[in-house]
Structure 1
Amino acid sequence: MEKPPSPADEARKSRSDGVQSRERLLLTAMRLFAEQGFARTSTREIALAAGTNVASISYYFGDKAGLYRAAFTEPAPCPRRDTAPAAPLPLREALTAFYAQLLAPLKQGDLARLAMRMWYREMLEPTGLWEEEIDNGIKPAYADLVQVLERHLQAEHDDDLSRLAFAIVGMATHLMVARDVIDQIRPQLLGSEAAIDSWLARLVDDAEALVAAEQRRRSPPASPIPSRKKTA
């Protein structure tokens, strides 16, 4: 005779069902918000598409705005700032850590594409979350990168150093923004975790080259060697 489930088994099953229900709501909301925007997407529509009821949205997220915030921030294409290491890293190690964090969402496959499309929608029809992301996510990460460059170049933060930082970020950002284009033209370049790691290593090489070029530009010109006068 089959043994009835224990209270602990029932509790684990309930937690598992709850996680799956919340995940299903979140993914469904991301898809609909990305397609239609916040204003034109109703909680009833999300619940119906997710195969649950509107009360589940209230239970897990509070309201429509809470669900939108979770859909925008939890699977974010630009991951949150990690705790800075106790000791400053050499340039190559710092760039590797920076790009590894920035490219990590690409390894999530379809979820990364969906999150990026939702970011597009938020930028087109802002609700205020994009400004929050700039202040709380992008600016701190930018400041960390600038500190690395200041330390390596032994230079103060000026416009040229900002241009360098944005160029370094832009090489990685392009992979997320142009993911669909890359998949159509050369899909193997981002088709696996190993391929993404290979591109990460190349980005580090290219970023080092940009830093080296900026270092040469900032170096004082070499003094000309005085010519010797011929004596009669």
Structure 2
Amino acid sequence: MVEKQIRKSRSDGEQSREKLLLAAMKLFAEQGFARTSTREIALAAGANVSAISYYFGDKAGLYKAALTDFLPPPQNNIDMFDQPHFTLRQSLEGYYAQLLGPMLEGEEAELCSRLWLREILEPMGVWANEVDNGIRAEHTAFVGVLARHMGVPVDDEIHRMAHACASMGVHLMIGTDVIKALTPQLLAAPDALRGWLPRLAGYAEAIVLAQIETLKKGAA
């Protein structure tokens, strides 16, 4: 009986925390950190303000959790594209799968993208920390993958190529509203985003192969 009560309490606690997170994501994305109060968030989540302190410490802790709780550890992302037995195409497919993975998770994904965009425009330090502790490691690994498949050492040209490949996925992440406005049919299907993954990998593969040919001509 006691065990059942503990399990129920834990489940209720997880649900309360998730409700607070979702409410915070919506309000922070719409209004920003400064213009959103903890009282508003608690009211939207149907919770007491004290629950925010209990689960997140304070408003800043809730904000950070809203941005990062749905993100996998960097190494998990890296493992999806940096494997010694992967072909170039497999590496690129894995790269875009991890890059766009959060967007395939439904409502939370869209909210998370909007919230990250606001954090970039109105930085509270979370974005800078993510760049230093997550994005930097993933970029370094991706650069290493490209260099390995091209058979060249890492240099500025490889870094430029990595940024160019990444930009195609980033446009999908933060430019969804633009895509919907200009070409709504490209995102109209329920599973439309998944259809982008092999295409992005194909475009990136063409870029890499073209650069390999350029290097061969230069060496000839």
Indicate the residue corresponding to 2:204 in structure 1: 207
Identity, in percent, stands at 50
Query: Aligned in 2, Cα 1:144/1:222: closer, same or farther, shift over 3 Å?
Result: closer
CA contact under 8 A between 2:74 and 2:137: conserved in structure 1? no
2:22 is the alignment partner of 1:54:
no
Aligned equivalent of 2:161, options 149, 154, 164: 164
RMSD: 2.1
CA distance in 2, matches of 1:210, 1:127: 35
CA distance in 2, matches of 1:127, 1:25: 19
CA distance in 1, matches of 2:126, 2:5: 38
2:24 is the alignment partner of 1:26:
no
Indicate the residue corresponding to 1:89 in structure 2: 86
Aligned equivalent of 2:35, options 40, 53, 63: 40
Q: CA deviation at 1:222?
A: 7.9
The aligned amino acid for 2:141 is D
Secondary structure of the corresponding residue to residue 206 of structure 2: helix
Indicate the residue corresponding to 1:191 in structure 2: 189
Indicate the residue corresponding to 1:70 in structure 2: 65
Q: CA deviation at 1:69?
A: 0.8
Once the two structures are superposed, residues 20-75 of structure 1 have per-residue CA deviations (whole angstroms, 9 ceiling, x without a partner) of: 11000001111111122212222122112211111101111111111111011112
Larger radius of gyration, structure 1 or 2? 1
Secondary structure of the corresponding residue to residue 201 of structure 2: helix
Indicate the residue corresponding to 2:149 in structure 1: 152
Indicate the residue corresponding to 2:137 in structure 1: 140
CA contact under 8 A between 2:150 and 2:212: conserved in structure 1? yes
Query: Aligned in 2, Cα 1:21/1:187: closer, same or farther, shift over 3 Å?
Result: farther
CA contact under 8 A between 1:43 and 1:57: conserved in structure 2? yes
The gaps in structure 1 that reach 5 residues or longer are 1-5, 224-232
The aligned amino acid for 1:18 is G
Aligned equivalent of 1:117, options 114, 118, 138: 114
CA distance in 2, matches of 1:105, 1:116: 9
Aligned equivalent of 1:173, options 170, 180, 202: 170
The gaps in structure 2 that reach 5 residues or longer are none
2:84 is the alignment partner of 1:80:
no
Query: Aligned in 2, Cα 1:142/1:190: closer, same or farther, shift over 3 Å?
Result: farther
Q: CA deviation at 1:192?
A: 2.9
The aligned amino acid for 1:191 is A
Secondary structure of the corresponding residue to residue 219 of structure 1: helix
> Aligned pair count?
216
CA contact under 8 A between 1:171 and 1:203: conserved in structure 2? yes
* TM-score, normalised relative to structure 1: 0.85
Secondary structure of the corresponding residue to residue 217 of structure 2: coil
2:98 is the alignment partner of 1:104:
no
